[in-house]
Chains A and B, each alone.
Chain A
């Protein structure tokens, strides 16, 4: 039973279909069904989980596996 926890973790974007979003780093503030809110040096950014590959805790995770609210993701695994 391992579902990834995102709230309060430091996160970096490795790959994205939007080339201007690659390299964004920060702390996760909010975690909704399809998006993540990150606080960076330049302000708060909203990222879409569909087309992203993240680096969390020194592990690569695909954004498609993280879709859904946290209470729904606990059931899944």
Chain B
């Protein structure tokens, strides 16, 4: 096996492992230790082997303390000024995401009508 094949198999194994770990943490939301540790290992694998985590799954946990977001228990979600703010109730970290694309789509639909 040349080094190119070895690299390809290593990347494939790592990306499969990341997907399994993200699913596993969704299943065991009630267990704090299991879910946080599985997200921590997923992030560590992606850092070590240079593999990106998909955007939609990045919004399901806190970047600082790796707790899974459960509305009303671990996170506070509010909207205002064109942005959604997620506040982690464990560590206090704040994340703000704009939603301009959705606003434009609604405007375009109204103009068509």
Alpha-carbon separation in the docked complex, A69 to B40 (Å): 12
Chain B residues with Cβ below 8 Å from A31 are 37, 41
CB distance from B32 to the nearest CB of A (A): 10
Q: In residues 61-113 of chain B, which contact A (Cβ within 8 Å)?
A: none
Number of interface residues of B (CB under 8 A): 18
A65 within 8 A of B: no
Question: Chain B binding site: helix, strand, loop or mixed by DSSP?
Answer: helix
Q: Encode contact with A along B10-42: 1 for CB under 8 Å, 0 otherwise.
A: 100110010001001000100001100110010
- Report the interface size class on chain A: 10 to 19
Of the A-B pairs whose beta carbons lie under 8 Å apart in the complex, a sample of 19, sorted by A's number, is A1-B9, A1-B13, A3-B13, A5-B17, A7-B24, A7-B34, A7-B41, A8-B28, A8-B34, A29-B33, A29-B37, A70-B45, A71-B14, A71-B41, A71-B45, A71-B47, A74-B14, A74-B49, A75-B10
Closest 9 CB pairs of A and B: A71-B48, A71-B45, A29-B33, A71-B44, A30-B37, A1-B13, A70-B41, A74-B14, A74-B13
